[in-house]
Each structure stands twice: as C-alpha cells, then as structure tokens.
Amino acid sequence: MKKTTCILIFVFLLFASRSSSQCTIPNDLFSSDTIIVCNDTITQLNAIPLAGATYSWSDPEGSGNSMTVTRNGKYWVTASDATCSKTDTVTVLFNSFVLSPQVEDVKLCKGGAPEVLKAQGQNILWYTGPVGGTGSITPPVQSTADTGRWEYWVSQTIRGCETPRAVVNTRVIDKPMFDLGEAFIIPCDAAGIVLQVIPEEDTRYTWSNGGGTGKSMMVTARGKYSLYAENMCGNFRDTVQAVECKDRCVQFPTGFTPNGDGRNDLFRAAAFCPVPKYHLIVFNRNGEKVFETSNPNDGWDGVYRGKKAPTGAYVFYSEYFDFVLKRSLTDKGTVVLIN
C-alpha cells in the first residue's frame, strides 16, 4: 500500500511540473511568411507582442518586437520568456518589379476628331508631369484644334504600390504645305539652282523630272518643276518655272497655221512666268493693224476684217513686264502665217 501511494504521488508531481513549464510562445511570430512592400519605401516588421517576452532580431536595427527594414531579404526574430524561446523567419520583398502601364503614342490630324488617351493597367492615374501633382482617374482628351506636341504621364497601382509613370507623347499634324517660290533664272555661270523645302516628319516627298524623293533637287535646265507631298492628313503639290539666263519670260513663235486642226492655230505669246503687264500688236505688210491685245492668253487666229488673212509674213510688236528679270521689255519681229 505504501509503494502504490508513493508512485501516485510521483506521477502527480511530474505532471504538475510539466504543466507549470509548458511553452506559451506561438510558432508563428509573423502574420505571413512573405511580406511585399512598395519600392523606395521604409517598412516596419512587427512580431506578435507577448507579455513578459524578450526579442532578439537578426539585424541590430531590431528593438522590442519591431524592426525597420529598407531592403530585400530574410529576417528572423527569437522571442524568449522564462519558460522557452521560439524563432520565426519572414521574407521581405520590395516591389521593384511592378511595371508601368502599357501606352502608345498618339498622332492625329488637325481639325479631326479629338481622342481620349488610353493606357492598359490597373488603377490608372493620369498626371500632367513626370513627378509631383495629383493623379486623376479621368483620361485626358487630346484636342486637334491646332498643331503641336504634348506629353501626358500615367501610372498604375498594383497591390497598393504605384508604378513609375509612363509618358504618352501626342502629336497633331496638318496636311503638307509648302511654297517653291516664284519663277527663277538659272545663272549662265552656274551648274544649276537647288530647289529645297523644310521636310516635315511622316511626310513623303516626290519631285518631278526625276528629282527623287529627298528634300531638295538640282534644277539644271529650263522647264516646270513640281513637288508632291503626302502624309496621313492629305497631300499637296506646288509647281515652279525655271528659265535660263538667256531666256525671256515671254517668247513668240516664228509661224502659225490657223487651219482649225487644233495645233498651232493661234499666234500668241508663250509665257514661262506671270505677266502682270502685256501688250501685243500685229501689222500686215501695208502697216495696217490686224490684231491687238493686252492679255497674254489671247492670240491672233489669222482673221482680219472677218476674212482669212493671206499667207505671208506679218510684223509684231510687244511690250511686257518680265517677272523673272524684274523689268519691262520690248520684243518685235516677224511671224509667218501659213493657211
């Protein structure tokens, strides 16, 4: 009986001893095994607060049950009390891999429909600059009232972290427009004259007379030269007349055949440039005036006093202002009428 009583007393004491030394510190001292925080920020790790416990951190920055963290890594803490101690580890990731939203540059035509800007991402915010300012959830609308370039900035926010801002470049353009200038003279001692325009982006240029597709071409001989330009908003063409130094702006043929075949039926000036002032008189062999005009586009059809004038030579006299040479000139000579 005594032996049995002693054994029961020993078991009771052993159980009481174990109960009084049971560890009350939990295995998980952090709320999560991995914590993701926004890049370029400072975060604070907090272990579960335990009454009467002391904490030992893997980093000397730790104090009490918290520690300030500024970089990626694994961190651990050991919580101890009079009974036991437990260690837990947490991984901290600064969210530096969050990408900016996907954007595309925008190009519009002047006078066209305005366009609402777009960006692909989550929780989009629009800004007027790369830094600072207050973001707006309403996307900007690009006006087409005038040509120019504009920049808009946009970010997205993922898991509470706002990304770096992406820039959206917008451009409003107009259809091509240029001026090749007035008719010009190729100097006698020059290889030629260079025609040139200031090229616009996204515009294709094509010169006549085999001049190619560049912004300029060399003109070496008399003639008409034109440049055609085209972009997404339209097209435009301009033409200019070139004459050589020995040429005059107005020239006259030596003969004409007013037979109604549609070829060389009139005696009239061939003007290579604008003629602001012009006067032409034609005389027959008797000195009679058979034709007169002040319009360089008018010509004599070989009719005098309602009848066909006879075949032969006629004298003409002309006064005009030469637009290229910039002075008044006279010209006279004979023209042969062939019926």
User: In this predicted model, which residue has the larger pLDDT, 36 or 110?
Assistant: 110
Q: Is 281 in the same domain as 240?
A: no
178 lies in a domain?
A: no
Q: Which residues pair with 88 in a beta bridge?
A: 77
Q: Is the pLDDT of residue 76 over 70?
A: yes
Residue 203, CA distances (Å) to 104, 175, 207, 233 in order: 20, 9, 13, 10
Whether the pTM exceeds 0.75: the reply is: no
CATH code of the domain containing 321 = 2.60.40
Q: What mean pLDDT is reported for the chain?
A: 89
234 lies in a domain?
A: yes
Q: Is 224 in the same domain as 264?
A: no
Q: Could you tell me if 261 and 288 are in contact, meaning their C-beta atoms sit under 8 angstroms apart?
A: no
Last residue in a domain, options 138, 154, 173 = 173
CA–CA dist 83, 243 (Å, integer): 110
- Kindly state the percentage of the chain with pLDDT values over 70: 93
Last residue in a domain, options 244, 273, 296 = 244
- Split into its structural domains, the chain has a count of 4
318 lies in a domain?
A: yes
CA–CA dist 48, 51 (Å, integer): 10
238 lies in a domain?
A: yes
264-273 pLDDT tens trace: 999 999 887 7
Contacts of 88 (CB under 8 A, 6+ apart): 27, 28, 29, 30, 47, 76, 77, 79
279 lies in a domain?
A: yes
201-249 pLDDT tens trace: 899 999 998 888 989 999 999 889 999 999 999 999 999 988 887 777 7
Q: Look up residue 228 and give its two tokens.
A: 């055609």
pLDDT band at 98 (very low <50, low <70, confident <90, very high): low
Residue 67, CA distances (Å) to 78, 132, 170 in order: 13, 30, 47
Question: Whole domain around residue 132: which residue ranges?
Answer: 106-173
CA–CA dist 116, 130 (Å, integer): 20
Q: Is 86 in the same domain as 134?
A: no
Q: Could you tell me if 320 and 329 are in contact, meaning their C-beta atoms sit under 8 angstroms apart?
A: yes
Last residue in a domain, options 244, 259, 292 = 244
> Half-sphere exposure (CA, 13 Å, Cβ side) for 76?
6
| The residue type at 272 | F
pLDDT value at position 95?
Answer: 73
